[in-house]
């Protein structure tokens, strides 16, 4: 039994393998991924790659030489189907097994299926992997009619704005009255809705999808207000859910939709760490466990997990955050991700920041074209600054 096995090939998995090596871990490293491709960037799939500003070659996170140079064996197209924590082995179907001294699970998320009749049709584009990104790109290049995007989260808004700015007739359907209200509040949501309309997206808000039907090469969508929409393509962006199947088979403690971990990303089972979208890990700065679905935090957690296996103790202590680009506008958002009671907005249409309060504490910062405010907010969050102190500093 020796070495590190990493399950997954997203940012968390890759960072774990790299940090293990950079922390002088000298055992064999094996990365096993169901994905048929070597590690690639997901964020551009709804942004620059969809719009044709990035090509496939811009997406790869490492070149082939990196795996060789770092003695990392990458096994693609292979699903890990079970873990035996006693014997310290993972199985990959059939009789194939791989032993480990330490295991990092970074299985990420999969798209939430649309819970309506027709929501499982294979021609729907559920946005997650490179194959789905390629379909988005093809649609943008040869639209052959209207695209309907379902869901007004970041992925839905990004994809809709990207299509519309490419000249594709685009409808965004959401059950929210204003996009993003649940996560960011109505004020930010209204601004995002205005951007989408300016980019040419036809917003259909306040009605949920009720049914999808395929007729020949077209789609018929019925909403719960009985509106019918005809489409050439349907893009599903109704959220993601963490892939916990493997964690469950290993008997790892689960809570709040994720794998319970301490701030070093150690799970309830010896020699198994976790990182990325599936982790419900203690964040030292927040003083409580959090589950977040952000690229940068997946990398940070992977680094902590991989370094930890090699004996270098790091802790998850930074305020979580991510960027989203809608059309040509980049939003930067940092928060604990578990809600807010109230917020205040500063700035004007050209540049603005939303400050979120939960109880007496600062709970988050959302900023458009004000990097100073964003950085100040991230720092204050990490210090667990009271909200009043944060607003004082902002207004000073
Ligand atoms: C289109 C898109 C745009 C995004 N844009 C942004 C953005 O702008 N900013 C941001 O912060 N975040 C963004 N995100 C979210 C971000 O990509 C995720 O938070 C991040 O990828 C999570 O990383 P991860 O390593 O935990 O998992 P993932 O990246 O999901 O990787 C998990 C990997 O594990 C593999 N796997 C799963 N189960 C198994 C198994 N049993 N056996 C073997 N392999 C398995 C999967 O095939 C996959 O390759 C975006 C996501 C998408 C889909």
CA of 325 to the centre of ligand 1 (A): 17
Q: What pLDDT was estimated at residue 1?
A: 57
Backbone dihedral angles phi then psi of residue 69, each to the nearest 5 degrees: -60, -35
Count Cβ atoms below 10 Å from residue 127 Cβ, excluding itself: 24
Of residues 303, 177, 170, 182, the one with CA closest to residue 235: 170
- Over the stretch 315-349, which tens digit does the pLDDT of each residue have? 999 999 999 999 999 999 999 988 999 999 999 98
Cβ–ligand 1 distance for 43 under 6 Å, the answer: yes
Cα(298) to ligand 1 centroid in Å equals 8
Q: Ligand 1: which residue has its CA nearest to atom 3?
A: 43
Q: Does the Cβ of 308 fall within 6 Å of ligand 1? A: no
Give yes or no for residue 46 CB within 6 A of ligand 1: yes
Hey, whose CA ends up nearest to atom 20 of ligand 1? Answer: 295
Q: Does any ligand 1 atom lie closer than 6 A to the CB of residue 109?
A: yes
Residue located nearest, by CA, to atom 37 of ligand 1: 107
| Those residues with Cβ within 8 angstroms of residue 155's Cβ, 6 or more apart along the chain or in another chain | 46, 127, 237
Residue 190 three-state SS: helix
| C-beta of 105 in contact with ligand 1 (< 6 A) | no
The domain spans of the chain are 4-108+243-309, 111-239, 339-395
Tell the CATH superfamily of the 111-239 domain: FAD/NAD(P)-binding domain (3.50.50.60)
Burial class of residue 77 (count of CB atoms within 10 Å of its CB; 0-12, 13-18, 19+)? exposed
Query: Does the CB atom of residue 263 touch ligand 1 within 6 A?
Result: no
- What residues have CB less than 8 Å from 234, skipping those under 6 apart? 124, 125, 147, 148, 150, 212, 219, 221
How far apart (Å, rounded) are the C-alpha atoms in residues 28 and 275?
A: 20
Which overall architecture, per CATH, does domain 4-108+243-309 show?
3-Layer(bba) Sandwich (3.50)
CA of 108 to the centre of ligand 1 (A): 5
Q: Taking 90 as the threshold, does the pLDDT of residue 262 lie above it?
A: yes
% of the chain residues with pLDDT over 90: 95
Q: What is the mean pLDDT of residues 293-313?
A: 97
The dihedral of CA 271, 276, 281, 282: what is its sign? positive
Question: What pLDDT score was predicted for residue 258?
Answer: 98
* Within this chain, domains 4-108+243-309 and 111-239 share the same CATH topology: yes
Mean pLDDT on 78-86? 96
322 lines ligand 1 (CB under 6 A): yes
Nearest atom (ligand 1) to Cα of 128? 53
Does residue 39 have its Cβ closer than 6 Å to ligand 1?
A: no
């Amino acid at each position: 039994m020796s070495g590190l096995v990493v399950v997954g090939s997203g940012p968390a998995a890759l960072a774990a393998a790299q940090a293990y090596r950079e922390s002088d871990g000298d055992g064999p490293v094996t990365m096993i991924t169901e994905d048929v491709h070597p590690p690639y960037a997901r964020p551009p799939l709804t942004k620059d790659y969809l719009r044709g500003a990035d090509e496939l070659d811009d997406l790869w996170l490492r070149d082939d030489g990196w795996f060789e140079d770092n003695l990392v064996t990458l096994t693609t197209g292979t699903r890990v189907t079970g873990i035996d924590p006693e014997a310290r082995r993972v199985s990959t179907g059939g009789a194939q097994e791989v032993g480990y001294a330490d295991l990092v699970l970074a299985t990420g998320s999969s798209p939430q299926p649309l819970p309506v009749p027709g929501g499982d049709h294979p021609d729907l584009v559920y946005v997650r992997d490179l194959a789905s990104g390629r379909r988005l790109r093809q649609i943008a290049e040869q639209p052959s009619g209207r695209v309907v995007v379902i869901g007004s989260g970041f992925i839905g808004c990004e994809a809709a704005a990207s299509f519309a700015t490419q000249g594709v007739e685009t409808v965004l359907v959401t059950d929210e009255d204003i996009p993003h209200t649940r996560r960011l509040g109505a004020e930010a949501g209204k601004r995002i809705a205005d951007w989408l309309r300016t980019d040419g997206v036809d917003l259909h808000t306040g009605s949920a999808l009720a049914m999808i039907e395929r007729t020949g090469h077209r789609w018929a969508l019925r909403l719960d207000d009985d509106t019918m929409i005809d489409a050439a393509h349907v893009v599903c962006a109704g959220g993601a859910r963490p892939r916990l199947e493997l964690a469950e088979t290993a008997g790892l403690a689960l809570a709040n939709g994720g794998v319970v971990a301490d701030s070093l990303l150690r799970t309830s089972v010896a020699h198994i760490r976790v990182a990325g979208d599936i982790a419900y890990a203690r964040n030292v700065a927040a003083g409580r466990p959090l589950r977040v679905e952000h690229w940068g935090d997946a990398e940070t957690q992977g680094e902590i997990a991989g370094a930890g296996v090699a004996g270098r103790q790091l802790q998850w202590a930074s305020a979580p955050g991510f960027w989203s680009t809608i059309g040509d506008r980049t939003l930067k958002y940092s928060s604990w991700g578990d809600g807010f009671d109230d917020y205040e907005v500063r700035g004007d249409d050209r540049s603005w920041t939303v400050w979120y309060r939960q109880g007496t504490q600062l709970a988050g910062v959302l900023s458009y074209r004000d990097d100073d405010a964003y950085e100040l907010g991230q720092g204050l969050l990490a210090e667990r600054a009271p909200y009043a102190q944060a607003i004082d500093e902002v207004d000073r």
